[in-house]
Amino acid sequence: MTVSAPHHSAVQCVSIALDQRSYDIHIGPGLLSSPDSWHGLPKAACALIVSNELVAPLYLQSLQAQLGAHYARVEFVQLPDGEQHKDWASLNLIFDHLLARAADRKTVLFALGGGVIGDMTGFAAAIYMRGVPFVQVPTTLLAQVDSSVGGKTAINHPLGKNMIGAFYQPERVIADLDTLDTLPQRELAAGLAEVIKYGPIADGDFLTWIEVNLDALLARDKSALAYAVKRCCEIKAWVVGQDEREQGLRAILNFGHTFGHAIETGMGYGQWLHGEAVGCGMVMAADLSVRKGLMPAAFLPRLRELIERAGLPVRAPRLGAERYLELMRVDKKAEGGEIRFVLIEALGRAGMHGAPDALVAEVLAAHCE
Ligand code: NAD
Ligand code: GLY
């Protein structure tokens, strides 16, 4: 199977269908500096770009130049970089800036960065003056294939990942593939974890496509990246269009996340990248799927090999089974203290399942360092 994408210079569009909250995801190279990306957004006197000290020097000027044609004032606030700063203190920097400049309720926020900036800007937009419009401009692979799409916004709490947040949809997503050129290789690999996720949960053929095209993705081949980002966004659009607020189906997007969030929280935010924790979490969730008799044994080595080839860790940190179980009981999918896992039921199909603590402990013992 080869890349079946159009030439990589083409701009592709995926729509999220949510009635009056519908919007488009634009995917392609050069979008940041293309005037077409910024037409037709809500009118306002003021736009506020939210970014950080790593991304702003790379892409802020381009965005400012484009937005200057649409807004009388283009403001900028810089947040500290990193998952450990996805908290109230950083969120307040956005509100401090908005209020100090008397930004009104039409002000449009622009999230320029990875998932951390996107989640925080989205949450700020959801609650500033009870809601202002915002636009996602994702600059990591992870943000382009997952976090900028679907309206989940949040900050972390010391006791749990993404525990304080809101569902709040952006006006548009502009995924400029050229921004991936400057991404460190470790961050590219972290994004590939979320790309891989979409195969087992929704599209077995896509899993095969990733296996065949992984080297091209790792080498940042633009055609391969364009196809991967588009296919992931299509799958996410299909899921979110049916279950925006995660009453059921949307939980499948959390494959690997129950173990993964426990790693992130247990190690301290920022130690393991989100994508690294999800990759390793998928190995454990695949094993649990096999141990529960849902999947044939061969599924585990197949998925583990792909995750390893992507450059991601497949051995989990040794936190102790009790600590893992304690952390996983704080997961948003837990019900009445019972941990719920997204498990694979067939290639391309996932569902929610409980598991006895003893079985989970066996999985942890098999995969912890
Ligand atoms: P991140 O936002 O921390 O970005 C990774 C690193 O890359 C940061 O240091 C960032 O400054 C830097 N960076 C960003 N773009 C760059 C570029 N183009 N060139 C060079 N450096 C660049 O992490 P992430 O992996 O993008 O996102 C992870 C976050 O997303 C987590 O907090 C996770 O919980 C969240 N998330 C949310 C959803 C959702 O649906 N809302 C889904 C998945 C993940
Ligand atoms: N990344 C999980 C979700 O959007 O639901």
Q: Which range has the worst mean pLDDT, 134-138, 332-336, 359-363?
A: 332-336
**What pairing do the DSSP bridges indicate for beta strands 46-52 and 12-16?**
unpaired
Q: Is the pLDDT of residue 225 over 50?
A: yes
> Which residues, including other chains, have CB under 8 Å from residue 115's CB and lie 6 or more apart?
138, 140, 142, 143, 146, 147, 148, 274
- Active-site residue, selected from the candidate residues 161, 172, 274, 340: 274
Closest CA to 343 of 302, 301, 283: 283
The reported pTM is 0.96
Q: Is the pLDDT of residue 6 over 50?
A: no
Which atom of ligand 1 is closest in space to residue 191's alpha carbon?
A: 25
The SS3 assignment for 137 reads strand
pLDDT for the residue numbered 9: 60
Residue 194 falls in the annotated catalytic set: yes
**What pairing do the DSSP bridges indicate for beta strands 46-52 and 341-346?**
unpaired
Q: What are the residue ranges spanned by the domains of the chain?
A: 12-182, 185-367
DSSP string over 5-39: PPPTTS-EEEEE--GGG-EEEEEETT-TT-GGGGT
CA distance 236 to 231: 9
pLDDT tens per residue across span 291-301: 999 999 999 99
Which atom of ligand 2 is closest in space to residue 147's alpha carbon?
A: 1
Q: Under CATH, what is the fold of the domain 185-367?
A: Dehydroquinate synthase-like, alpha domain (1.20.1090)
pLDDT tens per residue across span 259-304: 999 999 999 999 999 999 999 999 999 999 999 999 999 999 999 9
Q: Under CATH, what is the fold of the domain 12-182?
A: Rossmann fold (3.40.50)
Mean of all residue pLDDT scores within the chain: 96
CA distance 5 to 229: 11
**What's the token pair of residue 130?**
């009870």
pLDDT for the residue numbered 159: 87
Answer whether 13's CB lies under 8 Å from 25's CB. Answer: yes
DSSP string over 72-121: SEEEEEEEPPSGGG-SHHHHHHHHHHHHHTT--TT-EEEEEESHHHHHHH
Question: How many whole angstroms from 179 Cα to the centroid of ligand 2?
Answer: 22
| CB of residue 217 inside a 6 A radius of ligand 2 | no
Query: Which ligand has the minimum distance to the alpha carbon of residue 255?
Result: 2
pLDDT for the residue numbered 3: 45
pLDDT tens per residue across span 108-167: 999 999 999 999 999 999 999 999 999 999 999 999 999 999 999 999 999 888 999 999
pLDDT tens per residue across span 164-221: 999 999 999 999 999 999 999 999 999 999 999 999 999 999 999 999 999 999 999 9
Closest CA to 303 of 193, 218, 225: 193
Q: Is the pLDDT of residue 306 over 50?
A: yes
Secondary element (H or E) of residue 307: helix 299-309
Residue 254 falls in the annotated catalytic set: yes
pLDDT for the residue numbered 246: 95
Secondary element (H or E) of residue 327: helix 321-328
Question: How many whole angstroms from 194 Cα to the centroid of ligand 1?
Answer: 12
- DSSP single-letter state for residue 146: I
Structure confidence at residue 1 as a pLDDT band (50, 70, 90) = very low
pLDDT tens per residue across span 29-82: 999 999 999 999 999 999 999 999 999 999 999 999 999 999 999 999 999 999
| CB of residue 140 inside a 6 A radius of ligand 1 | yes
> Which residues, including other chains, have CB under 8 Å from residue 244's CB and lie 6 or more apart?
18, 21, 150, 151, 167, 169, 250
Structure confidence at residue 105 as a pLDDT band (50, 70, 90) = very high
CA distance 331 to 339: 7
Question: How many whole angstroms from 138 Cα to the centroid of ligand 1?
Answer: 8
- DSSP single-letter state for residue 313: -
pLDDT tens per residue across span 201-210: 999 999 999 9
